[in-house]
Amino acid sequence: MAFFIGNSNTSPEPDSDTAFLDALVSYSSDNDSNYVGAGALRNADVFTAIKIIASDIASNPLENNDPTRVNILNVKPNSVMNGFNFKFALACNLLLNGNAFAEVVMNGNRLRSLEFLPNNKVTVTQDDVSGRVAYYYQQTNVKRRQIASSNILHFKYFTQDGVTGISPLFALKDQLQIQKSGNGMLRGFFQSGVNGTSILKVHKSDLSKEAKDNIRNKFEESNSGNNALRTVVLDDSMDLSNLTVNTDVLKLVNGNDWSTRQIAEVFGIPPERLGVENEHSSNEQSNILYLQNSLGHYFDVFTSELNNKLAGVYTFNTDRLFSSDPKTNQDLAVEAYQGGVLTRNEARTRLGMNTVADGDTFYTKESDLNNGRPQIND
């Protein structure tokens, strides 16, 4: 039995954006699975959700005690990409496909580079007897090579077997189709201009289907698009009337945010980040929950694979995400010092200040010289 990440064209094509919503992992030895390409990003909510998470992952530096590896991960992973684009591309593929791949290139015992591998060129197989996992990279149309499992970084989030990941978009098939149908209704309404749905009656004639289609196409061509507001001219053989448009349906479609909320929920981001009001918590509470309960898990996907395949322990520096405005930072540092959580020097460091000689002690009332207010400044 084998698992496949199949090959397909990643460019968006008309009326092809539902294929990726079917099974993303094939359990057949000779049938490739569908690959999620750029067409999925034509949905504005999906695009925004992926942009938010991928940007948060890419903009936070990875830390390790080896400066060479840190430089490769954050600054120059390979000859083509910088650190931000490398991590963004991995996160984008992880969120679209449930899988992201990078090849580890070593120079002896030292890490030389990390090469990004597009999903549509990677095949993952698992032997149904030994359970051994193998990776194959389609380098060119005629050249295919195997990559040792120890030399490939395979990032996956939601997985049923620990071998391959499943795209979050798999859970959004109905929601995305509802959005597409609603947007199509609005687009059709505005494209029809002031006429809306019209009835053109031709007197004293028995028209064939071809003749009706021809009249309809000529009339729509003359009275839609750039010609939508031009004067309609008819002779005595024709009558024009319009069907009444139920604007309540259009209001329902335009005001329906259920699909947007479902997309936010699946990706684990606050709905207000997609322009939907959050009725149950403040923006500050939502962002804290996002950082702690969602983004933290995405960070774990990357650090756990790096810790497993590369030597050392890797963590994300999240100081930027948890930083506040200067006044709030100062108040928090003072409260932490006064509450005995931080020493004076630790509080000064959080404010970007230099340490002092006698600052490695905790605050006590006896040492306070300012009527109960802790002294952080010199």
Instruction: Judge if 286 and 376 occupy the same domain.
Output: no
- The per-residue pLDDT for range 283-296, each reduced to its tens digit, is 667 777 788 788 98
Asked whether residue 262 is domain-assigned, the answer is: no
Residue type, 222: S
The helix/strand/coil state of 151 is helix
- Non-local (6+) Cβ contacts of 13 within 8 A are 39
Instruction: Judge if 102 and 224 occupy the same domain.
Output: no
Euclidean distance between CA atoms 217 and 184, whole angstroms: 20
Supply the pLDDT for residue 334: 82
Q: Which residues, in sequence order, are bridge partners of residue 62?
A: 316
Last residue of a domain, one of 255, 283, 307: 255
pTM above 0.75, yes or no: no
Instruction: Judge if 276 and 248 occupy the same domain.
Output: no
Instruction: Judge if 27 and 136 occupy the same domain.
Output: yes
Instruction: Judge if 87 and 136 occupy the same domain.
Output: yes
Instruction: Judge if 162 and 35 occupy the same domain.
Output: yes
Q: Which domain holds residue 179?
A: 174-255
Euclidean distance between CA atoms 374 and 243, whole angstroms: 75
What does residue 189 show for φ and ψ, rounded to 5 degrees? -65, -45
Query: CA 326, 332, 343 angle in degrees (round to 5)?
Result: 115
Supply the pLDDT for residue 29: 30
Instruction: Judge if 287 and 339 occupy the same domain.
Output: no
DSSP code per residue over 199-248: EEEESS----HHHHHHHHHHHHHHSSGGGTTSPP---TTEEEEEPPP-HH
Asked whether residue 260 is domain-assigned, the answer is: no
Structure-derived torsion over alpha carbons of residues 261, 263, 268, 270, reported in degrees to the nearest 10 = -40
Euclidean distance between CA atoms 363 and 337, whole angstroms: 6
In a structure prediction context, what are the per-residue pLDDT tens digits for the chain, which is 378 residues long? 344 444 433 333 444 444 433 333 332 233 334 445 555 556 788 889 999 999 999 999 999 999 999 999 999 999 999 999 999 999 999 998 899 999 999 998 899 999 999 988 999 998 888 889 999 999 888 899 999 999 999 999 988 888 889 888 888 777 667 667 666 665 665 555 545 567 777 776 777 888 888 877 877 777 666 666 666 767 777 777 666 655 555 555 555 676 788 888 889 888 888 877 766 666 667 777 788 788 989 999 999 999 999 988 999 988 777 665 677 777 777 887 887 778 888 888 878 788 888 888 887 765 555 544 455 565
Asked whether residue 46 is domain-assigned, the answer is: yes
- Distance, first Cα to last Cα, the chain: 69
Asked whether residue 209 is domain-assigned, the answer is: yes
Instruction: Judge if 164 and 179 occupy the same domain.
Output: no
Instruction: Judge if 129 and 247 occupy the same domain.
Output: no
Instruction: Judge if 280 and 249 occupy the same domain.
Output: no
Task: Please report the beta strands in 55-165, taking only residues with DSSP state E, as ranges in sequence order.
Answer: 62-63, 99-107, 110-117, 122-126, 133-138, 144-147, 152-156
Instruction: Judge if 1 and 70 occupy the same domain.
Output: yes
Supply the pLDDT for residue 105: 95
Supply the pLDDT for residue 248: 55
Instruction: Judge if 340 and 201 occupy the same domain.
Output: no
Domains identified in the chain, total number: 3
Supply the pLDDT for residue 247: 56
Asked whether residue 307 is domain-assigned, the answer is: yes
- The per-residue pLDDT for range 322-354, each reduced to its tens digit, is 665 677 777 777 887 887 778 888 888 878 788
